[in-house]
Copies of this chain bind each other. A is one copy, B any other.
């Protein structure tokens, strides 16, 4: 049987501290299931959240672009939960339906041509080396 999620009321202080930071950073009333399951590993929960917060912060790329890249990888990996949560995340950051469709079309073409390249055993152009 799968491990049940860790709810806030049952969580030890170090887990609550991370949950609190997620809720205030994202301005949400509760954390997603992902964090409630990862909470079985408090050190991993803290490390993953802090890494994610750092990686997804606005920088040279804006948050919407980052969310769309995250979604593109999740689609390419076929992770159902991740597709659902990062589609929601990207929409919240500003992705509309037309942008989603174009993102999907790019992901589809990339998966197609990645395999064509490998199957035809195409050597790297000198200009790219």
A99 to B37, CA, bound (A): 15
- Classify the interface of chain A: helix, strand, loop or mixed: helix
The chain B residue sitting closest to A110, CB to CB, is B73
Contact B32 A125 (CB under 8 A): yes
Q: How far is the CB of A57 from chain B (nearest CB, A)?
A: 9
Task: Please tell me how many copies of the chain the complex holds.
Answer: 6
Of the candidates B34, B41, B116, the one whose C-beta lies within 8 Å of that of A48 is B116
Q: How far is the CB of A58 from chain B (nearest CB, A)?
A: 10
Of the candidates B47, B75, B84, B114, the one whose C-beta lies within 8 Å of that of A82 is B114
- Interface residues of A, Cβ cutoff 8 Å to B: 1-3, 32-34, 37-38, 40-41, 43-44, 47-48, 51-52, 54-56, 59-61, 65-66, 68-88, 96-99, 101-125, 127-129
